[in-house]
């Protein structure tokens, strides 16, 4: 970053001096939209969770607690009944009721809606009375409430009045009034929004719940360049930044007035293989070597996950053997074991699979989505070279990378996953089940994997209410996935935020900033 850039940023930040109880927050990405159903991105939903609310919410330890619903129970195999909180009003003063819940769920399930996938487990929302709503599922669903914290509730009357009855979707250039303005029930309300530059929130004095923090105003700025973001923190022009590049953590820890928050994250980073008959990128004599389980296992034995943890991730990760980590329901440490790093065994498996000289392969990888994602992929190349696999690392910005995966044009790729329902069924349903768009199964399965026994297990997990039987089914599915080696988990990621020492903030493992929990000195 040039000195001129620093001065320009400083001037912009200083243009509107903050009060003692104004939090100045910078992140590496912007909020995609103010429409709570217009984008399913983790950061956008977590930001909007300070303005809008769901029926339920997460406590600091990620346990589920009441929000707009005060209670819920399963009244029939496919029906969950929610009792709604009384006395709640939207920020325009209109009352909250069951009609708003039913409207919001129908709105979020609309065509071309960014958050549609989250609502797949809900077939219908039925209004029983003003304070009761029933959610009907296509099949019995023991964890439906776990997935509702990010299903944010809008005012039906407001949405219809401002012409936003249908959800917007920036990804498809579909916008309306809800893209740029908001009317939730949460602890903060939006007072101004300039996309890509500044979003200002102020405390909602009419909020129904207890005020825990001290901030009355929030100035949020997206600062994509790591160096610029950290310079703003060091100079005192912002109070809180996220994420912090791993290589900068030691320097920030040694800087007076700055506190670095580190902790485990829910996200797991892994490699995926397309196992169809055609190798989409590479050269292996007309065959797809990745269709052979022995080749996929060989790659697993060739990758030194501990070296990636210590050298690339600076120790801020834990080697993984599962697609979900600690903090996710269904996790068991006994199943979370990686293939042993054993290049000799890897070479033997390639010989056994009739690839004694190896082959050429391309690894597609984002370079702006996960912590050190590009560096992880580049570290893998020399590891595979030792067993004869000539790897080309294709680094791409996320805007190009994810559409390429969705077109099924990649043979070998890197992904990260954070279970939105905080349950192992989430990655199993979306990553390991055969693709079934009508039932929102296998949505992110870019591998071509379709094992009937695994499909049956995943569907059984989704309907099993008994915790012990459910865990046994999850462990069985995990064992089958490990044996088939269609995915190769690398590590469970860690979080790093930094803030000025006048800030007191709670860091949740899901990387969510809850503004109501922040105190300023």
Per-residue 3-state assignment (H helix, E strand, C coil) for 451-520 = CHHHHHHHHHHHHCCCHHHHHHHHHHHHHHHHHHCCEEEEEEEEEEEEEECCEECCCCCCCCCCHHHCEE
Instruction: Quote the CA–CA distance of 278 and 485 in Å, as a whole number.
Output: 18
pTM over 0.75: yes
Domains of the chain and CATH, by start? 3-239+502-520 (3.40.190.10), 265-494 (3.10.105.10)
> Which tokens belong to 470?
């459910």
* Rounded alpha-carbon distances, angstroms, from residue 259 to 216, 343, 389: 22, 41, 43
> Which tokens belong to 84?
């709604």
Q: Which residue has the tokens 């702006």?
A: 368
Instruction: Quote the CA–CA distance of 376 and 396 in Å, as a whole number.
Output: 13
Instruction: Quote the CA–CA distance of 25 and 500 in Å, as a whole number.
Output: 11
Kindly tell me the sign of the dihedral angle through the C-alpha atoms of 46, 47, 48, 52. positive
∠ CA 376-378-383 to the nearest 5 degrees? 95
Instruction: Quote the CA–CA distance of 37 and 145 in Å, as a whole number.
Output: 18
CB 350 within 8 A of CB 356: yes
Q: What length does the chain have?
A: 521
**CB atoms near residue 255 (< 10 Å):** 15
**Residue 94: exposed, middle, or buried by beta-carbon count in 10 A (0-12, 13-18, 19+)?**
middle
> Which tokens belong to 169?
């979707």
Q: Which residue has the tokens 């834990």?
A: 318
DSSP one-letter code for 338: P
Q: Measure the N-to-C terminal CA separation of the chain; round to a whole number of Å.
A: 30
The DSSP-derived string for 58-107 is E-TTS-EEESSEEEEEEEETTEEEEEEPSS-B-TTSPBP-HHHHHHHHHH
CB 56 within 8 A of CB 66: yes
Kindly tell me the sign of the dihedral angle through the C-alpha atoms of 312, 318, 323, 326. negative
Instruction: Report CA 342 to chain centroid distance, whole Å.
Output: 32
pLDDT along the chain (521 residues), means of 10: 38 46 95 92 93 97 96 97 98 98 93 59 94 96 94 97 90 85 98 97 97 96 96 97 94 97 94 94 85 98 97 94 95 94 98 96 94 96 98 94 94 94 95 92 96 98 96 98 98 96 95 97 89
Instruction: Quote the CA–CA distance of 128 and 99 in Å, as a whole number.
Output: 10
Per-residue pLDDT at 368? 85
> Which tokens belong to 303?
């990758």
DSSP one-letter code for 308: I
Instruction: Quote the CA–CA distance of 224 and 196 in Å, as a whole number.
Output: 10
Instruction: Quote the CA–CA distance of 69 and 427 in Å, as a whole number.
Output: 27
């Amino acid at each position: 970053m040039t000195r001129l850039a620093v001065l320009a940023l400083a001037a912009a930040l200083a243009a509107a001096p903050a009060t003692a109880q104004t939090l100045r927050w910078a992140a590496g990405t912007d909020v995609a939209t103010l429409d709570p159903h217009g984008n399913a991105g983790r950061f956008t939903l977590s930001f909007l969770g300070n303005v809008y609310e769901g029926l339920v919410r997460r406590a600091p330890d990620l346990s589920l607690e009441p929000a707009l619903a005060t209670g819920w129970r399963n009244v029939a195999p496919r029906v969950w009944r929610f009792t709604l909180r009384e006395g709640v009003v939207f920020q325009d003063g209109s009352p909250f009721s069951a009609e708003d819940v039913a409207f919001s769920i129908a709105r979020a399930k609309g065509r071309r809606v960014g958050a549609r996938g989250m609502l797949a487990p809900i077939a219908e929302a039925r209004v029983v009375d003003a304070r009761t709503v029933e959610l009907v599922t296509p099949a019995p669903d023991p964890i439906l409430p776990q997935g509702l914290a990010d299903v944010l509730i809008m005012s039906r009357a407001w949405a219809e009045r401002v012409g936003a009855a249908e959800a917007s979707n920036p990804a498809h250039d579909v916008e309306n009034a809800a893209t740029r303005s908001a009317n939730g029930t949460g602890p903060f309300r939006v007072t101004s929004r300039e996309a890509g530059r500044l979003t200002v929130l102020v405390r909602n004095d009419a909020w129904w719940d207890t005020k825990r923090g001290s901030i009355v105003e929030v100035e949020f700025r997206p600062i994509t360049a790591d160096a610029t973001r950290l310079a703003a923190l060091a100079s005192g022009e912002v109070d809180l930044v996220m994420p912090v590049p791993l290589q900068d953590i030691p320097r920030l820890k040694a800087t007076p007035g700055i506190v670095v928050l580190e902790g485990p994250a829910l996200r797991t980073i892994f490699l995926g293989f397309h196992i169809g008959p055609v190798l989409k990128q590479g050269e292996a004599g007309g065959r797809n070597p990745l269709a052979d389980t022995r080749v996929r296992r060989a790659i697993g034995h060739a990758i030194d996950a501990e070296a990636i943890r210590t050298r690339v991730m600076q120790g801020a990760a834990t080697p993984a053997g599962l697609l979900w980590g600690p903090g996710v329901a269904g996790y068991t440490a006994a199943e979370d074991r990686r293939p042993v790093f054993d290049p000799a065994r890897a070479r033997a498996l390639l010989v056994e699979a009739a690839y004694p000289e190896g082959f050429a392969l391309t690894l597609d990888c984002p370079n702006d989505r996960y912590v050190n994602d590009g560096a992880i992929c580049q570290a893998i190349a020399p590891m595979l070279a030792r067993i004869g696999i000539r790897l080309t690392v294709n680094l791409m910005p996320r805007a190009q990378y994810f559409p390429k995966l969705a077109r099924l044009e990649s043979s070998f790729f890197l992904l990260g996953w954070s279970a939105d329902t905080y349950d192992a069924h989430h990655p199993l349903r979306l990553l390991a089940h055969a693709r079934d768009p009508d039932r929102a199964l296998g949505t992110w399965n870019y591998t071509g994997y379709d094992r009937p026994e695994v499909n049956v297990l995943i569907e059984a997990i989704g309907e099993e209410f008994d915790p012990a039987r459910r865990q046994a089914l999850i462990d069985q599915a995990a064992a089958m996935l490990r044996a088939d080696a269609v995915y190769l988990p690398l590590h469970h990621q860690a979080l790093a935020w930094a803030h000025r020492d006048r800030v007191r903030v709670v860091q949740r493992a899901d990387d969510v900033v809850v503004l109501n929990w922040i105190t300023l000195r």
